[in-house]
Structure 1
């Protein structure tokens, strides 16, 4: 399995924005065939080094993750709405 983990820091981490961002990410389930595993969590500690939302996604291969990255739903329905809300994001991609 190839994993793509992304941490998101929102410009404004209000309850409304947190739910919107989480909803955008969760809405990918069932819409992108390459996406085999999807988990979205919201930070509960709010420490100085915390990010607001974590996405853990799983794919059969790195190539499948590459296809996901350019899939129209990911680009037009998720990233187009999520990016304006973000202050920062970090990613880690690995096989396990």
Structure 2
């Protein structure tokens, strides 16, 4: 199994706007479970401590294997979610590990 972890920093500094943007990203990304083959689980959460020092939100997703992760990257529904996130983020950091 492959665990895909992504940290995002948002362009906005307004807490209410961050909450709304993360919620929109959460709905879009968590909605991919059952749609994207090989995607076992997806969790999207907003940072709750040390605002300004920590990333704003995290995505943790589990995939059957590396092929499933690669298929997810180009799946049309993921591309839609990624396009939205691209409009609100200032930075993205990712790591993929075998679990």
* TM-score of the two chains, using structure 1 as the length reference: 0.87
Q: CA deviation at 1:23?
A: 2.2
Deviations 1:10-51 (A, max 9, x none): 111522223222222222222212211111111110344301
Change (3 A) 1:50 1:26: same
Q: How many residues align?
A: 95
User: Any conservation in 2 of the 1:24–1:82 contact (CA below 8 Å)?
Assistant: no
SS at match of 2:39: coil
TM-score by length of 2: 0.85
After TM superposition, the runs of 4+ consecutive aligned structure 1 residues lying more than 6 A away are none
Say what the alpha-carbon RMSD is for the aligned residues: 1.5
**Unaligned residue ranges in structure 2 (runs of 5+):** none
